């Protein structure tokens, strides 16, 4: 192996520092005994106590989890079908339909759904519109992870199942599904995380009907910087950390899918 | 039969909730605004109010330099963010690609982790760091005061917007670059070295041209979302840092001129599609070989 020049190591190390330092500060100040996020005063858990008594924040957290659960469940089902279909029949239009919603700037999907829900479906914005919007952008991620898993598999096992007299459904239930299960679970976890984290599309499709954690955080930081936001951010980061690590343990292709 | 049972649910869902809304937006961009927001009817409601289709929304865009200026500013911010991301990402991607195989997954995970934390939290982190009471601003303004200059605000400035954009999108540049650099055959660099090329020439003659597909796909992944971003200018920028995203947001949630907002969205879509097409064409390996 070639030895890396020192300046390159330093440049890479500073990029890593640039990625982590701001987040470390957010976490550190969540334990800081000061109303200002300016300098370290002393350790406290007060901001977490404030958080536990913030009714609006708790309601937003409950909404976020419920929306994430429902939308990622539906997106996993639809995305797995899309991934299977793309691998098996290779229709040229499906990848386009599945990937374009996530390749465009989020605001475009957000405003077009806003117009569609109100003008065409005459839907009152709220829980349902947010769930439908989240499913729309999550399908692509699940489909890509599932298709990547299928692409890495040996086709002869499916032929063997058929030769042994298995019906298409039996082949799916006994061979294909157990093999793609890690990717399906990874896709689910990814869709769950994306839904939990989404701000832009939720911002346009939630109306006044429902608030989520990102919406709540946005309206708080729009007004002022407060350590309560640091506390909720720290908890949210901890949750996504667990979800991402779980997803990457589940499926090796997950990290490539994320890129 | 099985084929359609598998393909139709995701296809129908996306036709309904992605393609149909997109087409509605095209139509909306040619409609009149409704009286209290929304859209005016397409057929004559018989009350003497505006109805049907019009080119006014598109004409309005070209009637005022302000809109062209906002588009130009958005492209400039997107280009600058992409360039800075490239400069910061290249060493990291290279380091990961050159690391022993057993360390690579961990180093990649370390890039993904901050990007998995909520995007608003990452923006908020910079609101703290650049805030007037933070060490950075106080040190800078201390120096400026010693020099007899006026204090400056780091937050709510174009610079803060740029920092936020780079910070939020950096992993999108690192990952495709790494995926590309990892595939390079080290033998090529050895050959270049044996032929007497120094480190500088080895990089510009071998590594850089081979990495261009990664550079282009990473650039598209940074440029496109930055172009449509409204939350970062909202939180970190001043009132004069408005980008396309903010303009569109205002049409739908502020002044409630949906047709003009739709026209702006269509223009942004066209810009993005042509950029994505260019990036896809440029990052095709065979296009480079030719």
- In a mutational test of the B interface, the residue from A116, A143, A189, A197 whose CB has the highest number of chain B CBs within 10 Å is A116
**B35 domain residue, yes or no:** no
The count of domains in chain B is 1
- With CA atoms as reference, the chain A residue closest to B85 would be A15
Q: Is the ipTM of this complex over 0.85?
A: yes
Give domain limits for chain A. Answer: 54-258
Average pLDDT of A46-55?
A: 89
Which B residues 134-163 touch A at CB under 8 Å? 134-135
Name which of B25, B94, B113 is nearest A112 (Cβ-Cβ). Answer: B25
Residues 6+ apart with CB under 8 A from A49: none
**Per-residue model confidence (pLDDT) at position B241:** 81
Q: Is B70 domain-assigned?
A: yes
In this prediction, residue A198 carries a pLDDT of: 93
Give the residue-averaged pLDDT of A113-124. 92
Q: List Cα–Cα distances, A94 to A41, A88, A90, A151, A203, in angstroms.
A: 56, 12, 8, 16, 28
Q: Which residues of B touch A103 (CB under 8 A)?
A: 224, 276
Residue A119 C-alpha, separation from nearest chain B C-alpha, in angstroms: 7
pLDDT tens track for A32-43: 888 877 778 888
Q: Do A94 and B116 touch (CB under 8 A)?
A: no
Mark yes or no for CB contact A18/B133 under 8 Å. Answer: no
Mean pLDDT, range A70-90, rounded to an integer: 94
B67 is a domain residue: yes
> How many angstroms away from the CA of B58 is the closest CA of chain A?
17
**Is residue B23 included in any domain, yes or no?**
no
Confidence of residue B285 (pLDDT cuts 50, 70, 90): low
Q: What is the pLDDT of residue B289?
A: 44
Under the banding of pLDDT at 50, 70 and 90, the label for residue B211 is: very high
Task: Please give the residue that has the higher pLDDT: either A1 or A168.
Answer: A168
Residues of the domain holding B233: 57-116+171-289
Residue B52 lies in a domain: no
How confident is the model at residue B77, as a pLDDT? 96
Look at B121 and A89 and tell me if their CB atoms are within 8 Å.
Answer: no
Asked whether residue B255 is assigned to any structural domain, the reply reads: yes
Per-residue pLDDT of B10-42, as tens digits, reads 999 999 999 999 999 999 999 988 877 788 888
In a domain, B78, yes or no: yes
pLDDT in tens, A143-192: 999 998 898 888 888 889 889 988 888 888 888 899 999 999 989 998 99
Binary contact (A200, B118; C-beta < 8 A):
no
Residue B143 lies in a domain: no
CB of B257 closer than 8 Å to CB of B33: yes
Say if B248 is an interface residue toward chain A (CB within 8 Å): yes
User: With b meaning 16 or more CB within 10 Å and e meaning fewer, what string describes B43-60?
Assistant: eeeeeeeebeeeebbbee
Task: Return the number of CB contacts < 8 Å for A and B.
Answer: 246
Yes or no: domain A54-258 corresponds to CATH 1.10.3720.10 = yes
pLDDT in tens, B189-205: 888 888 988 888 888 98
Chain A CB within 8 Å of residue B182 CB:
no
CATH for B61: 1.10.3720.10
**Residues 23-42, chain B: which have Cβ within 8 Å of A?**
24-25, 28, 38-39
* Interval B77-99 mean pLDDT: 94
Q: Helices B101-116 and B65-98 sit at what angle, rounded to 10 degrees?
A: 150
Nearest by CB to B91, which of A11, A104, A218?
A: A11
**Tokens in use for A253?**
């292709």
Closest CA to A139 of A235, A75, A62: A75
């Amino acid at each position: 192996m070639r030895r890396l020049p020192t300046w390159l190591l330093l440049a890479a190390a500073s990029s890593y520092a640039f990625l982590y330092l701001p987040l470390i500060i957010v976490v550190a100040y969540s334990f800081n005994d000061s109303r200002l996020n300016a300098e370290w005063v002393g350790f406290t858990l007060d901001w977490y106590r404030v958080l536990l008594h913030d009714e609006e924040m708790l309601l937003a957290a409950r909404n976020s989890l419920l929306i994430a659960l429902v939308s990622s469940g539906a997106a996993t089902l639809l995305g797995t079908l899309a991934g299977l279909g793309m691998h098996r029949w290779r229709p040229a239009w499906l990848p386009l339909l599945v990937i374009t919603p996530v390749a465009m700037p989020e605001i475009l999907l957000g405003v077009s759904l806003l117009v569609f829900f109100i003008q065409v479906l005459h839907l009152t914005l709220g829980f349902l519109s947010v769930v439908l919007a989240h499913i729309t952008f999550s399908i692509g991620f699940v489909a890509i992870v599932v298709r990547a898993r299928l692409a890495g598999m040996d086709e002869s096992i499916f032929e063997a199942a058929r030769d042994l007299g298995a019906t298409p459904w039996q082949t799916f239930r006994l061979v294909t599904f157990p093999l793609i299960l890690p990717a399906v679970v990874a896709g689910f976890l990814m869709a769950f995380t994306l839904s939990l984290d989404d701000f832009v599309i939720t911002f346009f499709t939630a109306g006044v009907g429902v608030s989520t954690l990102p919406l709540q955080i946005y309206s708080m930081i729009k007004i002022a910087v407060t350590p309560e936001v640091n506390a909720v951010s720290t908890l949210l980061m901890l949750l996504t950390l667990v979800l991402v690590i779980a997803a990457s343990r589940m499926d090796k292709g997950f990290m490539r899918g994320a890129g | 039969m099985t084929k359609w049972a598998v393909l139709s649910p995701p296809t129908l869902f996306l036709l309904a909730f992605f393609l149909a809304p997109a087409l509605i937006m095209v139509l909306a961009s040619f409609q009149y605004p409704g009286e209290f927001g929304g859209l005016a009817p397409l057929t004559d409601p018989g009350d003497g109010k505006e109805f049907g289709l019009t080119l006014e929304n598109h004409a309005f865009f070209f009637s005022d330099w302000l809109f062209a200026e906002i588009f130009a500013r958005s492209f400039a911010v997107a280009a600058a963010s992409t360039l800075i991301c490239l400069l910061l990402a290249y060493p990291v991607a290279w380091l990961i690609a050159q690391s022993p195989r057993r360390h690579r997954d961990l180093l990649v995970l370390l890039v993904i982790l901050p990007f998995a934390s909520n995007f608003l939290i990452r923006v908020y982190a910079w609101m703290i760091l650049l805030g007037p009471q933070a060490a950075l601003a106080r040190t800078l303004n201390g120096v400026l005061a010693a020099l007899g200059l006026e204090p400056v605000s780091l937050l709510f400035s174009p610079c803060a917007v740029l920092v936020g954009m780079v910070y939020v999108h950096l992993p999108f540049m690192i990952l495709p670059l790494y995926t590309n650099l990892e595939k390079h055959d080290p033998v090529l660099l050895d050959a270049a070295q044996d032929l007497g090329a120094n480190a500088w020439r080895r990089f510009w003659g071998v590594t850089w041209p081979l990495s261009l597909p990664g550079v282009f796909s990473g650039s598209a992944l940074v440029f496109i979302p930055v172009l449509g971003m409204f939350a970062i200018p909202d939180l970190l920028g001043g009132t004069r840092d408005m980008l396309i995203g903010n303009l569109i947001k205002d049409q739908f949630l502020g002044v409630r001129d949906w047709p003009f907002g739709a026209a702006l969205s269509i223009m942004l879509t066209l810009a993005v599609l042509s950029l994505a097409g260019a990036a896809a064409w440029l990052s095709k390996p065979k296009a480079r070989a030719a």
